[in-house]
Chains A and B, each alone.
Chain A
Amino acid sequence: MVKKVKMSITKFSNEKDAILACQSGQIEAYRYLVEKYKTRAYHTALMFTKNRDDALDLSQEAFVHAYRAIDRFDPQKNFYTWFYRILKNLCINYVNHKRNTRKVKEQIGRDKVTDFTGNSADNPEQIFEQNERSQLLWNALNALKDNDREIIILKDFDGMSYAEIADTLGIPAGSVMSRLYYARQRLLRKLEKIDEVF
């Protein structure tokens, strides 16, 4: 049975200690990990869902899933790259569900499709600070294929190192640079179509 023990999150000086404590059933130790990664998790979910409420909900859900599976996690490994895969799967499932529901509604033709979730689904102004350049970049990013967008997001928005990206995507470390090159090259081409500044 889980006990809610009053404990300062500063008790854990590193991630590995917190993970080991979680694995021994101290749920409060998990707070250290949640506090450390909640902003990154939320922003990652936001890039998938493009909606604040969904991103908050899914990032929290991913922490719950990760906690339930933490016994199977190797503390020697990087927590966030493992957690990212859980979060990504949840977000993809959610986005697919949303897309399929939208398709069904379009076929039925009864509902107003554009805002049926109650939010501005693709509005970058809600995600990024209002800025014309950011808006152009966001539009171009969204025009990329999922694989290209993901690697750029991992590097430029999630701030992962090449080693972390390789671990997260399950690709050789040596191919991260070339994958990034082709993804950024395609992003530049999209931007050139939209605007001459780039």
Chain B
Amino acid sequence: MKYSEINCQQAQILIMGKIDGELPAEENRILDEHLAVCSKCKYEYERFVQLKKGTSEMKFEILPEVQWDAYWDQVYNKIERGIGWILFSIGFILVASFWGYQALEGFFMDPKQPTILKIGVGALTLGLIFLFVSVLREKLMVKKVDKYRSVQR
């Protein structure tokens, strides 16, 4: 009986490289020698070849060309909309903060009011503005992408 340089466990791992075409020539030779003398591994090898053949024959359903044609435009629009949202959010926060400051200018300028209160009111107003922008964005985005909104409750 011919001698094999590898045992069955090593051969079975190398079989993967062989069927995937990733085995270096020397290891391929060693595996071939093993397969020539080991019927158990030869059988395993044939099963994996069959499996590989099966997966390589699985063909995805072809998408209509029109969907591929529009693909880049849709990605582009999403990117641009994201940038638009960032600019909108920053602009809205700045403008609303300015209006808030103007509305409360008397309070902020009043030396009788304690500083801690001024900081608290400032943080509260700014927080409300941020929350408003965040909720507004969420509402609009969820309305656009939520696939479950049509589910009857």
Partner-B contacts on A (CB < 8 A)? 1-2, 4, 27, 30-31, 34-35, 38-39, 42-43, 46, 52, 54, 56-57, 60-61, 63-64, 67-68, 101, 105, 110-111, 116-118, 126-129, 131, 133-134, 137-138, 152, 155-157, 161-162, 177-178, 180-181, 184, 187-188, 191, 198
Count of chain B residues near A, Cβ 8 A: 41
Contact of B59 with A by CB under 8 A: yes
Given A27-B76, A127-B60, A128-B61; A118-B147 close (CB under 8 Å)? yes
A118 neighbours in B (Cβ, 8 Å): 147, 150
- Give bound CA distance, A2 to B75, whole Å: 14
Q: Is the interface of A mostly helix, strand, loop or mixed?
A: helix
* Segment at the interface with A among B15-23, B34-42, B93-101, B124-132: B15-23
Q: What's the count of A-B pairs with C-beta under 8 Å?
A: 115
Partner-A contacts on B (CB < 8 A)? 12-17, 20, 22, 47-48, 50-52, 54-61, 63, 67-68, 71-72, 74-76, 78-80, 82-83, 145, 147-148, 150-153
Q: Are B51 and A188 in contact (CB under 8 A)?
A: yes
28 A-B contacts (beta carbon < 8 Å): A4-B76, A27-B79, A30-B79, A31-B72, A38-B72, A39-B68, A43-B60, A54-B147, A56-B63, A56-B67, A56-B71, A57-B145, A60-B71, A63-B75, A64-B78, A64-B82, A67-B75, A116-B151, A117-B147, A128-B61, A134-B54, A138-B58, A157-B58, A177-B13, A181-B12, A181-B13, A188-B48, A188-B51
